[in-house]
A = this chain, B = another copy of it.
Amino acid sequence: MATTRNLLRWILDSIADRGLSFRGNLSYAPIKKLCQDLVSEPGEASGTAIAREIADRYTALGNGDRLKFFESLLEPNWLADPEQVLRSATEYSSQPTAAHLSKLFRLAEPRRQELFRRINMGPRGTETIVNMRRDLLALLPENPALEPINADLIHLLSSWFNRGFLEMRRIDWRTPAIVLEKLIHYEAVHEIHGWPDLRRRLQDDRRCFAFFHPALPEEPLIFVQVALTRGLPTAIQPLLDITAEPADLASVDTAAFYSISNCLDGLRNISFGAFLLKQVIHELETEELKLKNFVTLSPIPGFRAWLAREHPGVAAANASGITPAQRSTLLHWCVRYLTATLPSGRAADPVTHFHLSNGASIERINWRADNSPKGIQRAFGLMVNYAYKPARIERNHEQYVKQGRFAMSDGVAAFLREPDAARKPA
């Protein structure tokens, strides 16, 4: 497959080369001009060649020139005719038919979208578009005026990376090294320290799955790492211990999702995580294992900062290290943090929101679960198991999304109700 695709790329390149030989002047035209040419071509004869030239030029741009390039895409010639649009909107407003809306929608499409679609036709087109968005996102905070371009790219990429086009693949030690090295690069939650570390994470008691898109066959888009364990894992360090003996598959009963990482910056906010987790659970159920629990072992990124902000007294009391006596107090506050909501009703903690909206429940808070400096610094070393119970996923999801109810185990709920513990540190 990879070979066929590589061949295809090479052919596309060569076709584009041929195209270029017909239009030697391509090389001297500014990229702005090439973009105009690409969308104004009535046919496709030299479109691939121009698309390729744009991709090459774009790749060679420095940061400053990229900003200029994006700014040029805000110019009127990339927009729609305001009069036509207004006329069509008025028409729709007076007669709100499907036909009138259809016409308006066509007229109101920024011409940039056609530009991006045509760039995608050239060699490495999809890669170029994804890279453009990556660069754009880096420029956005300083250049909020570029947001409309981001909107166009989100529109296109959401459509192109529709879940129906993604392929889930298992990653293991039989996977090509060119893909494996990307896991090392992209792992965002618990850094992979080189090949021996990666190898341990792909041994018999581990699973790793990723989504791929056919146009980027060697680029994992998102991947999840799973440890098969006996009982729910209560701490992360044993899972990351490169020298740990693989668990005996005959005795494992739990699949613990201990890391999920998005890979491509250019696809930020085009989310696949919920799909991936559910498909992985399904995949694991087809294996001949006796799995009873599907849980995460998740960080609580904002707990300590929240506590310091909202309850500085509690935070201060725990600052210099947590004694066992403080354990239940801290757990109480942790559950309060996890169940804190934004004005919109969604969980304040983004990890909690992600899992609850996928139908998980807050199953257990683990004490001394992440003893790394980062773990201590973020959440006093606490971590959460979110549980995915197939029979409850749908109900949990509905209740969270529609009524704002947080699913949790009795054990977790108990901490919430513990008034003494709550009062003490105050």
Q: Does the CB pair A45–B397 fall under 8 Å?
A: yes
Q: Does the CB pair A11–B282 fall under 8 Å?
A: yes
Q: Report which of B79, B90, B156, B163 forms a contact with A89, defined as CB distance below 8 A.
A: B90
- Bound complex: CA of A45 vs CA of B78, how far in Å? 38
- Bound complex: CA of A156 vs CA of B162, how far in Å? 11
Q: Does the CB pair A177–B168 fall under 8 Å?
A: no
Q: Does the CB pair A152–B102 fall under 8 Å?
A: yes
Indicate whether A110 sits within 8 Å of B117 (C-beta atoms), given known contacts A85-B93, A358-B43: no
Q: Report which of B15, B80, B102, B279 forms a contact with A11, defined as CB distance below 8 A.
A: B279
Q: Does the CB pair B108–A274 fall under 8 Å?
A: no
- Bound complex: CA of A122 vs CA of B180, how far in Å? 29
Contacts of A181 in B (CB 8 A): 199
- Bound complex: CA of A413 vs CA of B96, how far in Å? 54
Q: Which residue of B lies closest to A105 (CB)?
A: B108
Q: Does the CB pair A163–B121 fall under 8 Å?
A: yes
Q: Does the CB pair A397–B18 fall under 8 Å?
A: no
Q: Does the CB pair B76–A83 fall under 8 Å?
A: no
Q: Which residue of B lies closest to A126 (CB)?
A: B164
Q: Does the CB pair B167–A5 fall under 8 Å?
A: yes
**How many A residues have CB within 8 A of the partner chain?**
102
Chain A 352-371: CB-based contact to B (< 8 A → 1; otherwise 0): 00000111000000000000
Which parts of A152-173 form the interface with B (CB within 8 Å)?
Answer: 152, 156, 158-160, 162-165, 167-169, 173
Residues of A within 8 A of B (CB): 1-5, 8, 11-12, 14-15, 18-19, 22-23, 42-46, 48, 73-74, 76, 78-80, 82-83, 85-86, 88-90, 92-93, 96-99, 101-102, 104-106, 108-110, 117, 120-122, 125-126, 145, 147-149, 151-152, 156, 158-160, 162-165, 167-169, 173-178, 180-181, 194-195, 199, 214-215, 218, 274-275, 278-279, 282-283, 286, 357-359, 390-391, 393-395, 397-398, 401
A to B CB contacts below 8 Å, 19 in the list: A11-B282, A15-B278, A18-B390, A46-B397, A74-B98, A76-B96, A78-B98, A83-B93, A98-B145, A99-B147, A101-B110, A105-B151, A106-B151, A117-B162, A120-B165, A122-B164, A174-B176, A174-B178, A194-B195
